[in-house]
Structure 1
Amino acid sequence: MCGIFGIVTNGAAVNPLLVSQLTNILKHRGPDDEGYLALNSKTGTVYDLIGDDSVIEGRHISSFNEPVNMFLGHRRLAILDLSPAAHQPMSYLNRYLIYNGEIYNYIELRNDLLAAGYEFTSNSDSEVILASYDRWKDHCIDKFNGMWAFAIYDRTANRLFCSRDRFGVKPFYYATGKFGFAFASEIKALLAHPDINRTVNEAAVYDYLATGNEGQFLTEIEELPPAHSLTIDLQSGLKLKLRKYYTLSVNPALNASEGVTADSAALKVRELILNSVALRLRSDVTVGTCLSGGIDSTSIVCAIDSFIKKENMLQVGIRQKTFTASYKDAAIDESRWAKIVTSQTNTQWHQTYPSADELLGDLDNLIYTQDIPFRSTSIYAQYRVMKLAHEHGVKVLLDGQGADELFAGYPMFYGAFFSNMLNEGNLRRFAAELAHMGNAPLSAASVLMYMLKSSLMKSIPNSLKNIFTGGLNNLLSEKFKNAHKGRLSALLNGKYSGNLNTMLMQYMLKENLQCLLKYEDRNSMRFSIESRVPFADDTPLIEYVFSLPGAFKIHNGWSKYVFRRAVSGLVPEAIQWRKDKVAFNTPEKLWIKEIYRYMRQSIEHETAGYFKPAVFGELMNSGGAWRAINLSMWLSALKKPSAIR
């Protein structure tokens, strides 16, 4: 929806031109409007200011020279209520808001607040947040179903209240130092502050190179964790207080005690999915859909198609717009599956065809867009899909991100599932499931390997754990490895579990999905598109699925079993029971070969301290080749005097 930036000091005056500059680094996140709030927290004096792109009139920030110690900056992507009434920073009863995201149940909350006597001057969800804060204070976030990162300055209490959504869909980065406290939607806005250093966190680099894990790459820039709020009492300095406001629980016993069957669970999951998609269609601008050809995105496309047939949906149009990344290599191309879906739903289908030459041309922009190193070139395929949607006038895209983590769609989850049965002594069920592995996307031998990881990872000697990194750890220099002894064991121990629901939660809240959501936010907002993820942030759906036993998620060899059952009759049967779904892949080996040919000297120079001498030929044929390339480009970009473009 938007880009936010804020800064507060202990009393030192903040430079308004610097605030304008840093806020406008986020212009791609919000090209439709611009606004600022300046205030003196000692006196309570507040100033509303505008910028070059503001849709309202007022005092321009370039002419402002009052001594203030706090600024809030906002760049708006107009999605709900396109009028100036939804301009931010927004004020309501002496509270001021800057906000990025969507509260999908804002209509229901607004009606509750109207009944309680609250009044509104806009049709935005932003105003609903402020009214909710007035009524429920910090606990207002318990009422929200959606994605958000926001900051509220409460003038009545002289405090700053910040919050990030439960599942980490929307970003919130911050830094503290002699300059005070600063926060932003993207790292690049903070990096451009002259007093924030670009010191690389070498431990995070090790994690990334050894296993692909992504963490805090810069020592001075932190991330507000999902499901956390942050408050600063401005009357008593700049002490940050973090609070975890939500915990997702795993409780399969709950539904077992209520006699829930696979049939009734499938019906409930279907109801919740349809409701989640319907809520995420609330928009005053054009909505489209990502389509890969797998069951996740297909279910969203088909759900929307079922809605269109029942009612006129102006935001979708007569024909839904869908967007796919396609390739000439049939081994990774999903076009034939996507075509089955588009034929059934009669969508306006748009395709993009990423190539090695185009990746080379876009590489600098992609590195800049993502802010930190990322795992694979599949991120470029997504980048191109977002660009394609932007070219076709779409401002909101629905995507199937999160379904694999929610319903157990990845092969490694089979290891936890089978380990579960062994731990419970359920040998009959174990044998029955093993007999149905023909329905699974992996062999019985692969299942056994994943079982070993799930059951024994913590018991395997550290010296042997390198085999689970694809051998990449052997290519790292001894000095670099020795500096981070013990990290590999801790990283791998955290990835595997002998309990399926526990492992799903790990991948959803701490591992895989958290990275994917960040990639998607940056890629979509780079092209001024709001990405919405019905499987990744709908609290009723997620809580219900995590209350179901693992046997409902993997059954008779089928991954995502309850999900497949839930969309019966909604999606084409060929998609419903697919077992050969390719991940969001690219011809990565071919692309890496081309990139390395053009950039060999730079890659080897930037990463020399991390790898053993003369291993780059071997490295480029390993699973970690892209990580080395990406890291080298990121380190090179980091040395530039300014991140501003």
Structure 2
Amino acid sequence: MSGITGLLYRDDRAVDREDITRTIETIAHRGPDSAGIWCHNSIGLGHRLLWTTPESLLEHLPRRQGHFSITIDGRLDNREELIAALDLRDPADKITDSQLILAAYQKWGDRCPERLLGDFAFAIWDMREQTLFCARDPFGVVPFYYYAGDRLFAFASEIKALLCLPEVPQQLNEVKIADYLTAILADGESTFYQGILRLTAGHSLTVSRTQLHRRAYWHLDPEREVRLNSNDEYAEAFREIFSQAVQCRLRSAFPLGSHLSGGLDSSSITCTARKLLIEEGRQRTLHTFSARFADGDPWDERFFQDTVIAGGNLQPHFIQADGMSPLTDLDRVLWHQDEVFLPANLYFDWGMYDVAQQLGVRVVLDGFDGDSTVSHGYEYLRELARGGRWGRLAIETRAYGKRRNTPWKKVLWNWIWRYGIKPTLTQPLTPLKGIVKRGESSSVPQPQWTIPLNPSFVDRYDLVSRFGDKFSQSPQTERERHYRLLTNDILQHCLECVNKTAAAFGVEPRFPFCDKRLLEFCLALPADQKLNLGWSRMVMRRAMEGILPPEIQWRVGKANFAPSLAGGLQTYEKDRIDRSIVQQSEAIAPYVDIAALRQMHDRFASGNPTERDINTLHRTSVLITWLQTTRLTA
């Protein structure tokens, strides 16, 4: 975790050192340990350093080496492989990540990101070619924003560093409000600011004075398949890759922590990390951070957290989540985020990173987003039905119902009717799911928006067309569904939110489930390794045998935190919600159906809100606060 900025004047003006200084000071919180600036003619690079790995203690950035200069926010996880491939002779513990990336660029040019494993965003000025080469890690763990004008190209780890430059416009990108309100991110490149873009995950960017070229250097292959001989072999392969994903993220010169919610993902990471540290004989304390609610609340996970902790070699820490508002420190949170945010439980992270900072913990392992990486495999049932494999479908449906204590015969009959009988009776229709008509005279189907939108806003930006493919035909196979999950831009958004939350407290979050090797392996698995005998994510459950406590290894579900969000808003934020919706809603009137919004508020005020009401009121209150603070206009 660090902060990077850079300026390239494309009209050959000399960089004003005060400009690059202002950008890097704006994000000083990302790197309290050192700061550096390098300027030469029309190019300037800035850096704020947060020490995390042993090698980071040796960094002096930006680094100048021959004809090249680099600034980097990141961590490489295949250092030994790179050192060997690059034939570097210095002791490994004396070689920094920035040296490795520069050497990789010198050898492989713009193909170098393909050789890198880890979380990173970097920019290299090539003096010979007079180009700026930028790249971002495959899953978008580390943020990278940029502005590309005719006279100026500027980049930064956070948008606020760009906004302090007078040439960068500060105008609202209204269509992103639609993305936010619907929680459907139609594109991963745009931001809430016109003209400011993000370099999307797995992409590189080459900038000269006359050209700008984006290239995807990595992508998931939805056609690749992994075929092994037995369930045990699949489990062993998963365990090996997952252990590597955790182990390479344990490298830290400071106290190490791990989120521990009590769910399958964070518990697997914590238990695997504990096992690896013990096997390596490293006398290090692994701190855990958990959110707790009142004992007896159905969403309180203390039983599962305590089950993991009982295994020993952990130092647990807890935040009392029901003692926090879901909008805790909202003004400060929005300053760090620069944009509105979708994760309603971000306040959990805010509280836990605060505790981590007080303990001197600089690296925290995070279980995001195991659900997408491994996949629950539910689309396998559709595969079986479509293929007419009724016997196997009956076995899986019955087992699934038994695990969850739900009737299974009706579910099985629905599959048989939909894919076995109905297609023989009539040509099936494929309407969009959840379609409503806007008016009797309209023949254009409209999606049922998660938040009631102003019809004129929908028409002005043709939101039906913008989001049309998001309501299109359902995936045909489990792998297709899995691929859609992993390439959904909402994952990149959530990672950026967590990154900037952690940066507020000088902490680097690390995500084993975002490891490129693990993503590629899980997507390529057969569907019956994801859903099997009623168990979702079966390959992971088998792989965690002897590592996870059985109570967690064979958990059926997970806690639903939606009621805690409702309780938190009603306990701590009723006045804010009342003020926002009753007095300040004109700020969002161009975008939201205010009459419908106030009906939701009435139910909230009477103590009978629906889950949709709560999500809508949370999201619109955040949006109102952000619009009033930034005073942005289109």
TM-score, L = length of structure 1: 0.85
Residue in 2 aligned with 1:223?
A: 198
The residue type paired with residue 326 of structure 1 is: R
Which residue of 582, 596, 610 maps to 1:615? 596
> Any residues of structure 2 matched to 1:126-525 within 5 Å, and which?
126-213=98-185, 216-233=191-208, 237-251=209-223, 254-256=225-227, 259-313=228-282, 317=284, 319-328=285-294, 330-355=297-322, 358-409=325-376, 414=378, 416-438=379-401, 459-460=431-432, 463-464=435-436, 472-473=450-451, 475-485=452-462, 486-487=464-465, 489-490=467-468, 492-493=470-471, 496-525=474-503
Gaps of 5+ in 2: 439-444, 602-608
Q: After the TM superposition, which of the residue ranges 201-210 and 106-115 deviates more from structure 2?
A: 106-115
The residue type paired with residue 334 of structure 2 is: I
- Seen in structure 2, the aligned counterparts of structure 1 residues 459 and 511 have a Cα distance that, compared at 3 Å, is farther
Deviation at 1:2, TM superposition (A): 0.7
What's the secondary structure of 1:175's corresponding residue? strand
What's the secondary structure of 2:155's corresponding residue? strand
Q: Is the 8 A contact 1:287 1:394 kept in 2?
A: yes
CA RMSD in angstroms, aligned pairs only: 3.0
Deviation at 1:297, TM superposition (A): 1.0
Residue 597 (1) aligns with residue 575 (2)? yes
The residue type paired with residue 527 of structure 1 is: F
Provide Cα deviations, 1:496-527, integer angstroms capped at 9, x if missing partner. Answer: 52322222222222244222211211111111
Provide Cα deviations, 1:18-62, integer angstroms capped at 9, x if missing partner. Answer: 22111111111111110011012xxxxxxxxxxxxxxxxxxxxxx
What's the secondary structure of 1:592's corresponding residue? helix
Residue 627 (1) aligns with residue 596 (2)? no
CA–CA distance in 2 between the matches of 1:193 and 1:471?
Answer: 37
The residue type paired with residue 325 of structure 1 is: A
Provide Cα deviations, 1:47-78, integer angstroms capped at 9, x if missing partner. Answer: xxxxxxxxxxxxxxxxxxxxxx2211100011
Residue in 2 aligned with 1:43?
A: none
The residue type paired with residue 76 of structure 1 is: L
The residue type paired with residue 277 of structure 2 is: I
- Seen in structure 2, the aligned counterparts of structure 1 residues 121 and 518 have a Cα distance that, compared at 3 Å, is closer
Provide Cα deviations, 1:326-375, integer angstroms capped at 9, x if missing partner. Answer: 12271222122111101113410000123466555511111222222222
- Seen in structure 2, the aligned counterparts of structure 1 residues 19 and 225 have a Cα distance that, compared at 3 Å, is same
Deviation at 1:177, TM superposition (A): 2.2
- Seen in structure 2, the aligned counterparts of structure 1 residues 270 and 585 have a Cα distance that, compared at 3 Å, is farther
Q: Is the 8 A contact 1:166 1:226 kept in 2?
A: yes
Provide Cα deviations, 1:594-636, integer angstroms capped at 9, x if missing partner. Answer: 4242353444132122223433333344132211111111211
- Seen in structure 2, the aligned counterparts of structure 1 residues 379 and 422 have a Cα distance that, compared at 3 Å, is same
The residue type paired with residue 516 of structure 1 is: C
- Seen in structure 2, the aligned counterparts of structure 1 residues 624 and 312 have a Cα distance that, compared at 3 Å, is same
The residue type paired with residue 197 of structure 2 is: E
Deviation at 1:587, TM superposition (A): 1.6
What's the secondary structure of 2:37's corresponding residue? strand
What's the secondary structure of 2:627's corresponding residue? helix
Runs of 4+ in 1 over 4 A off after TM superposition: 117-121, 355-361, 439-449, 455-458, 465-471, 583-586
Q: Is the 8 A contact 1:201 1:218 kept in 2?
A: yes
Provide Cα deviations, 1:369-397, integer angstroms capped at 9, x if missing partner. Answer: 22222224201111211111111110111
Q: Is the 8 A contact 1:187 1:371 kept in 2?
A: yes
- Seen in structure 2, the aligned counterparts of structure 1 residues 397 and 457 have a Cα distance that, compared at 3 Å, is farther
CA–CA distance in 2 between the matches of 1:12 and 1:495?
Answer: 52
Q: Is the 8 A contact 1:327 1:354 kept in 2?
A: yes
The residue type paired with residue 357 of structure 2 is: H
Q: After the TM superposition, which of the residue ranges 98-107 and 510-519 deviates more from structure 2?
A: 510-519
Deviation at 1:175, TM superposition (A): 0.9
CA–CA distance in 1 between the matches of 2:433 and 2:448?
Answer: 17
Q: After the TM superposition, which of the residue ranges 79-88 and 360-369 deviates more from structure 2?
A: 79-88
Q: Is the 8 A contact 1:19 1:73 kept in 2?
A: yes
Deviation at 1:5, TM superposition (A): 0.5
The residue type paired with residue 5 of structure 2 is: F
Q: After the TM superposition, which of the residue ranges 191-200 and 276-285 deviates more from structure 2?
A: 191-200
Gaps of 5+ in 1: 41-68
Provide Cα deviations, 1:539-581, integer angstroms capped at 9, x if missing partner. Answer: 2222222221111111122111101111111000000011121
Deviation at 1:171, TM superposition (A): 0.9
Residue in 2 aligned with 1:535?
A: 513
Residue in 1 aligned with 2:549?
A: 572
- Seen in structure 2, the aligned counterparts of structure 1 residues 359 and 383 have a Cα distance that, compared at 3 Å, is same
Which residue of 58, 61, 64 maps to 1:88? 61
Q: Is the 8 A contact 1:2 1:101 kept in 2?
A: yes
- Seen in structure 2, the aligned counterparts of structure 1 residues 568 and 477 have a Cα distance that, compared at 3 Å, is same
Deviation at 1:481, TM superposition (A): 2.1
Deviation at 1:533, TM superposition (A): 0.7
Deviation at 1:398, TM superposition (A): 0.9
CA–CA distance in 2 between the matches of 1:567 and 1:111?
Answer: 32
What's the secondary structure of 1:78's corresponding residue? coil
What's the secondary structure of 2:36's corresponding residue? strand
What's the secondary structure of 1:430's corresponding residue? helix
Deviation at 1:188, TM superposition (A): 1.7
CA–CA distance in 1 between the matches of 2:627 and 2:144?
Answer: 23
Residue in 1 aligned with 2:442?
A: none
The residue type paired with residue 61 of structure 2 is: Q
Which residue of 70, 77, 83 maps to 2:50? 77
- Seen in structure 2, the aligned counterparts of structure 1 residues 471 and 161 have a Cα distance that, compared at 3 Å, is closer
What's the secondary structure of 2:101's corresponding residue? helix
CA–CA distance in 2 between the matches of 1:385 and 1:457?
Answer: 49
The residue type paired with residue 229 of structure 1 is: S
CA–CA distance in 1 between the matches of 2:282 and 2:532?
Answer: 37
What's the secondary structure of 1:73's corresponding residue? strand
Q: Is the 8 A contact 1:375 1:626 kept in 2?
A: no
Deviation at 1:433, TM superposition (A): 1.2
- Seen in structure 2, the aligned counterparts of structure 1 residues 465 and 421 have a Cα distance that, compared at 3 Å, is farther
Deviation at 1:425, TM superposition (A): 2.8
Residue in 2 aligned with 1:636?
A: 628
Q: After the TM superposition, which of the residue ranges 195-204 and 154-163 deviates more from structure 2?
A: 195-204
The residue type paired with residue 306 of structure 2 is: K
What's the secondary structure of 1:225's corresponding residue? coil
Q: After the TM superposition, which of the residue ranges 191-200 and 98-107 deviates more from structure 2?
A: 191-200
The residue type paired with residue 317 of structure 2 is: H
The residue type paired with residue 428 of structure 1 is: G
Q: Is the 8 A contact 2:357 2:507 kept in 1?
A: yes
What's the secondary structure of 2:532's corresponding residue? coil
Residue in 1 aligned with 2:606?
A: none
What's the secondary structure of 1:267's corresponding residue? helix
Deviation at 1:295, TM superposition (A): 1.3
Q: Is the 8 A contact 1:180 1:238 kept in 2?
A: no
